[in-house]
Amino acid sequence: MTTTKKKYDERHGGPYDRGTADYYYGRPFDPHYFADGTYTSERVGRESMSMDQLDAYRAGFDDAEADGVQKDWG
């Protein structure tokens, strides 16, 4: 049996990217993304995200958590 992992758009500022970044930096689970560049464009929150975008954010957060790598704050 072959299983394939769903591929997400990993553009900087997108939902998957924000999920991975939130986990890496030890931030709480808070679905969002940026319309264009991270912190240089409109922040889109959970209430305005599609189910696919929410799925991508969760996948990013979960994938990062599975890797177990977080920023070492010293």
| The model's pTM | 0.90
Q: How far apart are CA 17 and CA 31, in angstroms?
A: 11
Residues 34-48, buried b or exposed e (16+ Cβ, 10 A)? beeeeeeeeebeeee
- Each residue's pLDDT, cut to its tens digit, for the chain (74 residues) gives 666 678 899 999 999 999 999 999 999 999 999 999 899 999 999 999 999 999 999 999 999 999 999 999 88
Closest C-alpha to 38, from 64, 52, 62, 20: 20
